[in-house]
Amino acid sequence: MLLYFYIVKTSLEVLEKLSGRNIKIFLISNPEEFLARRLDYFNDCPFEKASLKFDSKIDSDCKIIKNGKGFHILIGGNALCANNNKVITCSNKMDKWIISSNSIGFTFKKNKLCLNFENRNLELKECTQDANQLFDFLTIPHFISCLEDNSFNQPIDEKQMNKEIKKLEFLNEANDNLTKLIDEKKPINSFEDFAAKTFSKPEDKKKAKKLAKLGKLWSWGNRPKWKFPSINFLDFICPS
């Protein structure tokens, strides 16, 4: 009984610490793929699994937000709700879910049923604690969230961007005031570009050079893939 109480208390502490933070949610049976929302899907349930490889049509950032004895669950910015035991995105009020710990992972419960992922769909089913109902969490390091908030990692419509740049260059001619705007419109294609635009002020030149040297650690076009074992060296651009 004391061991059970300790396990429950510990799991609640874990959930409370995760509340409100950016996290990833994954199935225990497939830890390499995370629950995500398709950005180009507008029906009731746009949720599926996705890898961490950069994809402009997928948002796998999640949150659990404690509210009383329950939690709101957000996947890709949309909260999970249930309508007649069908999982849908919340329109106004967010539903509360009970998150319970198991010997392995967690279950998400609503109306005494468990959240289940099967055939690329989230649905509510009778609780069986099988692999499709066991989830766990991965916290996102602060510096990753900070870097992803910058424009270099946003999806770019290059054709549209080039049209805008050509228009500005045509208007620019001898107008130096538009030069800065043109530079801002140009997509960032390298770590050096990112460093130059992030630290454009004269007093930040040394910092820009220091950041540019980190380009060798960066796999451009994908999510960050760091070879260096420590993340402390990025504190100067994403202070914790």
Domain 2-140 has CATH 2.80.10.50: yes
Whether 165 and 182 have beta carbons less than 8 Å apart is answered as yes
Residues 218, 240: Cα–Cα separation, whole Å: 20
52-90 confidence digits (pLDDT tens): 665 567 888 899 999 998 999 999 888 999 988 889 888
pLDDT at 72: 94
pLDDT at 5: 32
pTM: 0.56
Task: Provide the residue ranges of all domains of the chain, joining segments of one domain with +.
Answer: 2-140, 143-234
- Detail the DSSP E strand segments found in 4-85: 23-27, 30-38, 47-50, 58-59, 62-67, 70-75, 78-83
Whether 37 and 22 have beta carbons less than 8 Å apart is answered as no
Low-confidence ranges of the chain (pLDDT < 70): 1-10, 42-43, 52-56, 140-194, 197, 199, 211-240
pLDDT at 49: 78
pLDDT at 189: 60
Residues 168, 165: Cα–Cα separation, whole Å: 5
